[in-house]
């Protein structure tokens, strides 16, 4: 299995006319995950305007409080289309990493369980002799 490389934790865009560096924290990632829902809906964030805008609102928002999603209202000239796309790509990289890492972990767990079951079968067969 190929080693997974985590995406850059920060991205900088022009937001409201100034450079804004965004850090993908666990809480920010979790808020993005809530909007996307599942791995099979990943492509929707690139074409569904509601999901895309929701992701952007999560990314540019100031730190959220406990139990609250990061969210901010966007104004017309806050973000250029190019920076919007840059942020969506940033989110997509982090979400993809999250889902692939979880799948790799699940696959390893299944493999470990199969090895344990096989060892138990061999042990049981050996004790019958």
Contact between 73 and 30 under an 8 Å Cβ cutoff? The reply is: no
Domain that holds residue 47: 10-101
Is 118 part of any domain? no
Is 88 part of any domain? yes
Is 114 part of any domain? no
Is 125 part of any domain? no
pLDDT digit string (tens) for 92-110? Answer: 999 999 999 988 876 666 6
The whole-angstrom separation of Cα 124 and Cα 44 is: 50
Is 24 part of any domain? yes
Q: Per the structure, how many domains does the chain have? A: 1
**What is residue 125's predicted lDDT score, i.e. its pLDDT?**
67
Is 3 part of any domain? no
* Helix residue ranges per DSSP H, 37-80: 44-47, 49-60
Closest CA to 11 of 88, 90, 118, 65: 90
Give pTM, 2 decimals: 0.78
CA distances from 86 to 69, 89, 112 (A): 21, 5, 39
The whole-angstrom separation of Cα 24 and Cα 91 is: 8
pLDDT digit string (tens) for 30-48? Answer: 999 999 999 999 989 989 9
Is 54 part of any domain? yes
Is 107 part of any domain? no
């Amino acid at each position: 299995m190929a080693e997974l490389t985590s995406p850059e934790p920060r991205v900088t865009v022009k937001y409201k006319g100034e450079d804004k560096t965004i850090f993908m924290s666990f809480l920010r990632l979790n808020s993005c995950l809530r909007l996307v829902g599942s791995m099979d809906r990943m492509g929707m964030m690139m074409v569904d305007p509601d999901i895309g805008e929701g992701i952007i609102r999560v990314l540019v928002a100031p730190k959220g409080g406990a139990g609250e999603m990061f969210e901010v209202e966007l104004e017309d000239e806050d973000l250029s289309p190019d920076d919007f796309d840059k942020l969506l790509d940033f989110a997509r990289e982090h979400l993809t990493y999250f889902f692939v890492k979880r799948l790799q972990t699940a696959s390893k767990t299944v493999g470990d369980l199969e090895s344990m079951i096989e060892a138990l079968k061999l042990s049981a067969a050996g004790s019958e002799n």
